[in-house]
Every structure is written in structure tokens, then in C-alpha cells.
Amino acid sequence: MSERVQITVAKSAGFCPGVKNAIDKVLELAKHSKKTIYTLGPLIHNKQVIETLKEKNIHAVNSPSEIKEKHAILVIRAHGIPPEEEAKIRALDLEVVDATCPLVKHVQENIRKHAQQGYATIIVGDRDHAEVVGLMGYTEGRGYVVDGPEEVKKLPRLEKANIVAQTTQEGDIFTEAAAAARGIAGELAVSNTICNPTKQRQKETVEFSKDSDLVIVVGGKNSANTARLFQICERLAKKAVHIEKEDELRPEFFKGAAKIFITAGASTPSWMIEKVLEKARELAGEAQSHLLDKVAFAWKLLVTGSIYTAVAAAALTYVCMKLEGAPVSKKFLLMAGLFAFSLHMANRAVEKGAAVPDKARQLLFVKYRRQSRLAALISGALAILLSAALGWKVFLTAAFFWSAGMMYPYKLPLGFEKFANFPASKDILTALGWAFMCAYAPGLWHGGAMHNSTQLAVFFAFLLVFTRSVLFGISHAHSDMIVGKENFYKAAGQPLTYFTLAAIFLVLSAILFTLKGAGWRPELAASLLTGMLYYLGLMLFFYFSRIPERTTAETLIDTQFLILAALAWKA
């Protein structure tokens, strides 16, 4: 392998805010309504995501006339529609939900305002694109669509004109078109309506393409913004290819390519980009030895296969038993590990293949999905069996939390909705389950659940595991996985999420600092207080840096428990 091969992934790659907003809306509708959900045209220009949405009973139609059910839900997609069409569908016997991108709405309002003042509208964009068709509806019949400066020159003389851009238009083309419009308009209003995410994506693409031997553009072949990115790359890079999936990459693309840049359209999820990155590394021979490749794959299997999670749960149990002053029991360490392994593995097995970004996950949850589920059931049964030997109170509570965790992704009996209908439900349920197995059960067995030390350990474990689950949710959201508000990060938003994580850090640190000052297990409290620095560093890393791919993120998150266990052992 060449030591000089360098692969860079665009920081701006992944879903744009408008696409994320539209997907979040339809997912929430799917969770809270039993009605069939339809989108007026494909929600986004990405076949793989559309297939995933179909599995959730979300279907695309070209016209409302295709919908036969009464009171069905019809979603206006991110591109928007003409106002006349919106008025017609709102008069039908349908529940209409508007998921138009806020930035597209800004362009619609810009056109409407100027049209009411007598301005003709020049739209720089693709004539047949859904967004442009929608924008034309706001021009009051005085609209023109052009693809660049040459078409502007062919327009008739306009006394008053407002020139706008399709939100994903190329910046240079719009600037040139605006300059040309000055020659055919008596009065010209220039409204640069290219959205900021597009500007950032294009700026980064220009910067890296100039210095790249190969640029890989990932996105739907019918995606306008992806096509524009590819056009930019073709002009600037030595070689550029446009692909939809990683299996379209060929070894010959990489011949003589030392610097490789990967970028993607606004409708391409990050997990698809991860697949492309992995395949590109394999074909390009990015500087890794065959041994390192094997080690990396083995580690992915360890993390993906929930083994590392099981070790993390056992480590947290060790810490809690130390806090409680209970003798360390291997039975509880094993029980907690099996419990965490079972639920983690079972929930992973429910993930669809489209959301499985690397070979390790493909192997475990696509090729061997049945075996993975069987391993989850067996390990769960063993955990419950161990709990039965520790008394009926431990057994019943363990059985409850394990059953709740196993049923979480599915419909509950007797017509109840999914647990996932409740905001942050997944993070709360996970934290409660771990807090019981890692802290409450050992305390109950050792001397009673009402002891102050047990209550402290339960509270400590709950907050740590809640933090872990929230950080997992941040990682999944930044990988553009199809997740909803069962994830605290999705339910609360970025500012409140990081405020909550900071508050948890301060609370945990204050507790440990108080214990140390009060002379209650001062050496243990001091050691765990030192371990909280890793928590702080992890939180700051997630906030200020690009979120790493899932295996790395999960390794970093679960390592906090191993560090705390090591410090507790040393104390």
C-alpha cells in the first residue's frame, strides 16, 4: 500500500437542515398516528432513505388523486409547492402537513413580496426542479426561469425585476446571471437566496477539489445539488466520479490518486458516506498494514457485537459496589454484563440494513441477524437466571427491565403505543435499567435498597448511563440515522442537550467533591472525581469537533466506565 494516500471527507457532507427537518416531521407523524402517511413526491432525492421510510408506512405519491384512504396524512416535502396547489390539497379530505424547508419558504416570501410590488421574477435554477416549480407559483404570472447568464440575456426588457436563486444553485452562476440581468432590467433587486448550507458545501468542495487527484461525489443521480457539486469537481479536480452507493466504486478510479476527497449532496445521509469511505480505503490502500486492517475489523466486531458494552456495564457495576461498600461479587458483574449485552444486541438487530454503515455491522445484523437475536435472548435468559438466585425482589425487577427493553422497538400488547412515543424515552429507560442492574440490585442484595450509599450509587449510575445514552443519540443523529424524539438530542435540540450534559457533570462532580470533603470514602471519591475529567473532555470533544463514525464514538463513550472502574480499583 502507498503511504502517501490521503482521504478527506467533507465536514459539510450529510443531510442539510431542511432535509433533517422534513424527515423528523414524518417520523414523528408515523409514531403518533395510525394513519397512512404520504408525501407529495419523494421526500428527498435518495433511494435508500426512501426505501427505509417505506418500511415505516411512509409512501410517496405524485398526485393526491392516488390516495384512496379518507383522512390520510399528506406531507408537503422540503422543496415546497405552488400556493394554488397547496390551496387545492387543503380543500381535500386529507390532513396536510407542511414540511417545506424554512429556507425555501424564505425565498417564497421574498418572491411574493416583490411580486406584490410589481416586480417580475427571474429565478436562476433548474426549470423542472420541484423547488423551482413551487417558486414560480409565487411570481403572479411574471416569472422567468434561467439556467445562467446566457439565458438572462435572451429575456425581454423588464422595467422592474427581482432575481433570486434556487437555494442549491452554484454561487458563481448566480453572480454572473445577476450581472447579466442589469442589462435587461430598468430596476433590479438582487436577492441571493442560495442557502448557507449550500454555500458552505460548495466552498469546501472548491477548496479541496483544486488539490485532489480524485473527488468522489455521493448522492442521488436525480439530485440537483449533487449534480452541481459534481460539475464543480469536474472542473477543478484531476478526476471526479458521481456515485449513489459504495458498490459503484471501481479499482481503476484510484490509480495514481494520492489525495482523495469525498463530498456529498444534501440528501445523502452520513452513514452512506461512511460506507463509501470504508470502500474507498479498501480500494485505494490508504496507509494501513494488512495486520492493522484485521485489528480494526476485529475491534469493530467487538464494539458492534455489544461485547464492549457488556464490559462497560460490568465496570460500572464494580464502581457502584465500591460506592455502596458492598463486597465485589462476580455474579453481579456477570449479570450486569449479560443484561447490557442482551438488550444492546437485541435493539441493534432491529436496525435495518440501510442504516448499517460498515462490514462488521453488516456481518452481525444482516447476514447473521437471526443468530444475533438468538445470542441476545440466551444472554438475557442467563442474566434473569442469575438474578433469580439472588432473591425474588432482584429477579422480578430484573425481569421487568429486561422485558421492557426487549419490547421497546415493538408495538406493545393491548393496543398500547410504543415506548418510543414519549420524548427521550429510550435514554430514560436505558438509564433506569442499567441503574437497577449495576447499583440497585447489588445494594438490595448486600443490605437493603434504602441505605444512603445504595441510593447514591443508583443516582450516580442513572446520570452516567443517561449521559452515555444521550451521547449515543448525538452520534446516531450526526450519522443521519432514522431516529426520532425517543432520542433526547432529537427531542431537546442541541443547546438544551449540551446544557443538560454540563449540568449533569456539575452535579456528579459536586456530589463526589462533597463526599471527599465529608470524609466518606475520600480516596474513592477523589479517584472518581479525577475520572470525571474524561467525562468533561468527551463532552467538549463532541461539542467542538466533528462527531466521529459510530464505532469510534461508541468506543470513546463506553471507555468512561472502564476508566472509572480502574480508578476505583486503584483507590
Residue 83: CA count within 13 A, CB half-sphere: 11
Residue 220: which H helix or E strand, with range?
none
Record the cell numbers describing residue 455, joined without a space.
441510593
Please give the radius of gyration of the chain, using alpha carbons only, rounded to the nearest integer: 27
Residue type, 216: I
d(CA 355, CA 371): 19
Which among 66, 84, 131, 150 is annotated as catalytic?
131
d(CA 48, CA 53): 9
User: Is the CA virtual torsion 146, 147, 149, 151 positive or negative?
Assistant: negative
Return the HEC string of 427-441: HHHHHHHHHHHHHHH
Record the cell numbers describing residue 201, joined without a space.
458545501
- Cα dihedral angle (334, 340, 345, 346), rounded to 10 degrees? 110
Per the CB < 8 A criterion, the answer to whether 29 and 222 are in contact is no
Q: Report which of 468, 493, 483 is spatially closest to residue 554, judged by C-alpha positions.
A: 468
Annotation says 131 is catalytic: yes
Per the CB < 8 A criterion, the answer to whether 258 and 225 are in contact is no
For cell 412515543, what's the residue?
Answer: 421
d(CA 1, CA 251): 13
Return the HEC string of 162-207: EEEECCCCCHHHHHHHHHHHCCCEEEEEECCCCCHHHHHHHHHHHH
Among all residues, which ones are annotated catalytic? 131
